[in-house]
Structure 1
């Protein structure tokens, strides 16, 4: 080799080393992969002056994804984007498929270019030499190609350039793949493949910036799957995960490319809708989403379930201009939907904030109600249905708010659970009820309601045991009443507490039976001592055949299980007679006695000697031929 050629070769080597160095610096600096590859193509074209350079990535599905081709028009690269590699897919698709260089010296006549030659020839590209870019483990991760404007082979210089460039391309693509994998782990929900909160935090500012520029609204749809925790508990976590994946797939199919979707946790999803110009379009998305999610979802072993979703919606610009504000308002709207008791969607309004503030005030007040003496306990008698003899009382909590007056337990108990005050309030009721029961005749029982939040608390059984010891009440006189909703969520914790109560000697009744998720499965979960028929069935049983049938079924179930049944809400003689005729054990309701302070039942709870004296006084004062005053049981 002449000295001139050796000098030229050294200069090429130096320029190639500079090229590699500049590309590696760009990679290390975190430049986007397309920008790095564009830099490489431009530098390669300065060395190979008669060539047009192209770099294409091969994705995990085996499809071509153009990365750079600065001298090629966008329309040309768009035509091959997403094309699957194969032995007859031009030079690049064939090289990627075969894993070896493919040199086509005449695009017009080579069969591998049959479907692509017109586009290449229109640009004056008559030959193409493509080499596979391989990772360190031998995978084909892309192709590096030189196009030529004459039908010819690649020169030695061009081959040297390609050899050097494919190596640095491999390093750049592998670095990008590793970074992309880490990014996906950081920004993707592993169960559904949707984005997570970190993804939302990054994507939302860009979506909002585009919306501001185009003066378009952005809607945040907060989606919650109703009853998911119940299904997860009943059908197992594997089926719960399958349902969440199915929901994610349906959301993904409905979303547009400009939307952002994320799973926030458990059964909560968020969709950021962009590109909808009017409220009607956003509402249409909510309606379509509700319909799609409400269909049947196939789970394990042929099981199918029907899911329904509640959706809360907040919109930019009227409801806020940052993610946290919009997410908070969408959550407020979602809570309104869920409080309505039916699956639906709702747009956030300022009125909902007033309701939220009122709810927070209620939670604040109820958290101090016990300490400020606003709570009291009233007692409603329970009688033997056949004889009318009073068997005991149910202790019922009352709250007299200093401003709002009487507040229904249906309102303040959920508030107490939400703010964490239910344990203190429950302990107050238990202490009050047992302190009163300690003064009664020993045959009278006392029933105390316990919320789900109390039962799943590990310390509840210990509280009961300690309070019984402190008051000296026989554990057999105490009955704890729970509802079926207890078994929807924390079944294991609930069962552990109930079993401990049974060990202490306390009886357990299932309250409002027939209104819960699955009455029969609930009875199977735990051997309850008594069953209480919900008052709604008793109220209608005389006039409504369906209600009467339900009452008859529950009474039959009680007999079959050997469990006494208590009918709540007995208000008329007709109801009482119908219950008696079907063998109902015990009754409770206004016909027997209203919930009143225990002083109103002094003649029933006084010690035996005092009750005899009171009875004699009543008989002496009663008109001749009248019965002595007593419980309202015929």
Structure 2
């Protein structure tokens, strides 16, 4: 008994410790079985009416009418509550309403039993009244255990008046029955509390599991690194916005953006720096756009943004703001990380009404933006499809092209003008694709630079070139072009050293060519890379000299051994005195700085004669020798045509 009293005291405090959501579930359990409430109310009302009719007692008749009225009200309340969801806010109101009806009904049943025992001597009538109240009380223990204070009050109101009615007559058998009812009430209190404990535990576990499932569901739709929506959540919200679009009266802009040169930042500063850049860009975008927009990271350095817009001009304004946000530097570990974004934009509904169509069109616009240079935004236009679809196909085909053996090398001899012999050979990369056939380097090299495959391709070219040149005469060097991405990679010296070690070729026979525009994009990084190559005793050439932002200041800073005069000046030698003057100036400048000069693109005898007059050191071009396979180069160097034909 002491344990039961302690549990009743604990009940007074436990209800305040549960959350509003759990309380709402427990309140909802009161209305879980509308059918049983209806049957109970109809049965009790019918029995009360029968007893009142049999006894012809006004008090019992009034009590029976009250039981019927309250029962009907409770049925109406149960049916109304069953049609609506009981949320945390409404739970308190529902509980008050249920408590009033339940206690009134229980009290009336107890009162009816008491009146029957005290105002009628008919044993059958008394049995009907007592069994009705006791049966009702027994059902309460299980049915309303979710709110035990209501259940216990109902139990006492329905049962204890019966004990009082039995005690009034002081008849031995009735006294025994009164005691049995009291013990019944105590037992039902214990059962109610146990049922409540089990129900509360199950509800808490269910609620915790639901909360955990909701957490996992939210986590599964959030990008771990940046905290913005991931591809799954983006797709769901995208399709939802498209369904709502017809009635909104506005347009929906899809921005698909890539971070420019992100791979270079990863390679130069490490993955932690790359992650910091991604997180910073995502944070800026999330802060800039309100809840009506969606910011998502689709993977890697790809982001997507959905934003409602009024027209194309507003979409362009938003796009310009995105470009500005991405361009802002990010401080990390003492470095200032800088990037830009290429953005493709598709507008719904004019560029499509389905998610897949809009994503495809935004992707095509993104390719156009990349093709036009970094930091650009392009809207989708139908004319983009054919050209950009080819670029996209080539992008896909470049992945795996090395493994499929689709690349091969050609070699174009470079001739020493004074000695009229082969001085070196420039390596030229060629790609024959399984679907597209021969693809020009002018077309596929920029794509390889954008999608990151240029690094692996460049390594392969370097290794193959050193392997081929190893068997050439010791005074013949090999010239290999470096892409901007290769030059900026911190591991370039190690790659070059590995290629030399693998082939056994002396480093002095390797000449690496870079274009002057690359140098001006990141002067310090380029200078450090060239100095590291020179420490390996590898020679370096400034390619396409005169086509970029030629400056005497950087010629004195960068450690080049050779200047290569661009073919555009060579082409005009026959008809342009200005080109003659430029070539002569470059040759003289190279001589004064201790650099050799090479003229490329020599196609006529007149051009060759003019270059001899300028005292250019070396030449290459179709007049002298076309690009050829390694076997033909070996035959030439073996003595079968190693002299210049001009």
Q: 1:631 — aligned with what?
A: 645
After superposition, the Cα gap between the structure-2 partners of 1:603 and 1:186, relative to the gap in structure 1 and judged at 3 Å, is: closer
After superposition, the Cα gap between the structure-2 partners of 1:367 and 1:270, relative to the gap in structure 1 and judged at 3 Å, is: same
State the distance in 2 between where 1:300 and 1:368 align: 37
Q: 1:347 — aligned with what?
A: 380
**CA apart distance, 1:219:** 3.7
Question: CA offsets per residue over residues 205-251 of structure 1, 9 Å max, x none?
Answer: 54344336669764422134556777999999999979996897589
1:283 aligns with 2:312: yes
State the distance in 1 between where 2:344 and 2:258 align: 6
1:481 aligns with 2:513: yes
1:370 aligns with 2:399: no
Q: 1:38 — aligned with what?
A: 89
Of the three residues 238, 244, 255, the one matched with 1:210 is 244
After superposition, the Cα gap between the structure-2 partners of 1:370 and 1:493, relative to the gap in structure 1 and judged at 3 Å, is: farther
1:25 aligns with 2:58: no
Q: 1:464 — aligned with what?
A: 499
SS of the equivalent of 2:626 reads coil
After superposition, the Cα gap between the structure-2 partners of 1:369 and 1:579, relative to the gap in structure 1 and judged at 3 Å, is: farther
State the distance in 1 between where 2:361 and 2:482 align: 33
State the distance in 1 between where 2:446 and 2:296 align: 30
Q: 1:270 — aligned with what?
A: 304
Q: 2:255 — aligned with what?
A: 221
Equivalent residues of 1:220, 1:326 under 8 A apart? yes
**CA apart distance, 1:272:** 1.0
Question: CA offsets per residue over residues 44-67 of structure 1, 9 Å max, x none?
Answer: 9989xxxxxxxxxxxxxxxxxxxx
State the distance in 1 between where 2:245 and 2:419 align: 75
How do residues 238-387 of structure 1 correspond to structure 2 at under 5 angstroms?
258-264=292-298, 268-274=302-308, 281=310, 283-293=312-322, 309-313=342-346, 315=348, 319=352, 321-322=354-355, 326-327=358-359, 329-341=361-373, 343-347=376-380, 351=386, 354-355=389-390, 358-359=393-394, 362-363=397-398, 366-367=401-402, 370=405, 375-384=408-417
Question: CA offsets per residue over residues 424-453 of structure 1, 9 Å max, x none?
Answer: 7864775467546624x4323222335567
State the distance in 2 between where 1:403 and 1:333 align: 24
Deviates more, 1:38-47 or 1:388-397: 38-47
Equivalent residues of 1:461, 1:497 under 8 A apart? no
Q: 1:93 — aligned with what?
A: none
Greater per-residue strand proportion: 1
Of the three residues 384, 391, 407, the one matched with 2:423 is 391
How do residues 156-235 of structure 1 correspond to structure 2 at under 5 angstroms?
197=231, 200=234, 203-211=237-245, 218-224=252-258, 226=260
State the distance in 1 between where 2:338 and 2:562 align: 32
Question: CA offsets per residue over residues 78-132 of structure 1, 9 Å max, x none?
Answer: xxxxxxxxxxxxxxxxxxxxxxxxxxxxxxxxxxxxxxxxxxxxxxxxxxxxxxx
State the distance in 2 between where 1:514 and 1:28 align: 79
State the distance in 2 between where 1:182 and 1:396 align: 53
Equivalent residues of 1:369, 1:375 under 8 A apart? no
1:449 aligns with 2:449: no
Equivalent residues of 2:583, 2:614 under 8 A apart? no
**CA apart distance, 1:593:** 3.7
How do residues 55-74 of structure 1 correspond to structure 2 at under 5 angstroms?
none
SS of the equivalent of 2:424 reads strand
- Number of aligned residue pairs: give it: 463
SS of the equivalent of 1:448 reads strand
Bigger radius of gyration = 2
SS of the equivalent of 2:442 reads helix
State the distance in 1 between where 2:440 and 2:616 align: 29
Equivalent residues of 1:311, 1:337 under 8 A apart? yes
Equivalent residues of 1:220, 1:273 under 8 A apart? yes
Of the three residues 477, 492, 508, the one matched with 2:540 is 508
State the distance in 2 between where 1:304 and 1:549 align: 39
After superposition, the Cα gap between the structure-2 partners of 1:282 and 1:475, relative to the gap in structure 1 and judged at 3 Å, is: same
After superposition, the Cα gap between the structure-2 partners of 1:357 and 1:311, relative to the gap in structure 1 and judged at 3 Å, is: closer
State the distance in 1 between where 2:342 and 2:621 align: 38
**CA apart distance, 1:334:** 0.8
**CA apart distance, 1:336:** 3.0
1:586 aligns with 2:615: no
After superposition, the Cα gap between the structure-2 partners of 1:240 and 1:263, relative to the gap in structure 1 and judged at 3 Å, is: same
Equivalent residues of 2:412, 2:627 under 8 A apart? yes
How do residues 5-154 of structure 1 correspond to structure 2 at under 5 angstroms?
18=15, 21=18, 23=20, 25=22, 38-39=89-90, 42=93
Question: CA offsets per residue over residues 523-581 of structure 1, 9 Å max, x none?
Answer: 79973443434434554687496997699579747844x44343333446776677677
State the distance in 2 between where 1:554 and 1:185 align: 64
Gaps of 5+ in 1: 1-10, 48-177, 615-628
State the distance in 2 between where 1:188 and 1:551 align: 62
Quote the RMSD (CA, aligned, Å): 6.4
Task: Tell me the TM-score normalized by structure 2.
Answer: 0.51
State the distance in 1 between where 2:470 and 2:94 align: 93
Question: CA offsets per residue over residues 332-355 of structure 1, 9 Å max, x none?
Answer: 431233124472313275647853
Equivalent residues of 2:465, 2:478 under 8 A apart? no
State the distance in 2 between where 1:186 and 1:550 align: 63
State the distance in 1 between where 2:597 and 2:617 align: 5
Task: Tell me the TM-score normalized by structure 1.
Answer: 0.52
Of the three residues 536, 559, 563, the one matched with 1:527 is 559
Equivalent residues of 2:484, 2:518 under 8 A apart? yes
Equivalent residues of 1:512, 1:533 under 8 A apart? yes
SS of the equivalent of 1:594 reads coil
Equivalent residues of 1:537, 1:548 under 8 A apart? no
After superposition, the Cα gap between the structure-2 partners of 1:184 and 1:370, relative to the gap in structure 1 and judged at 3 Å, is: closer
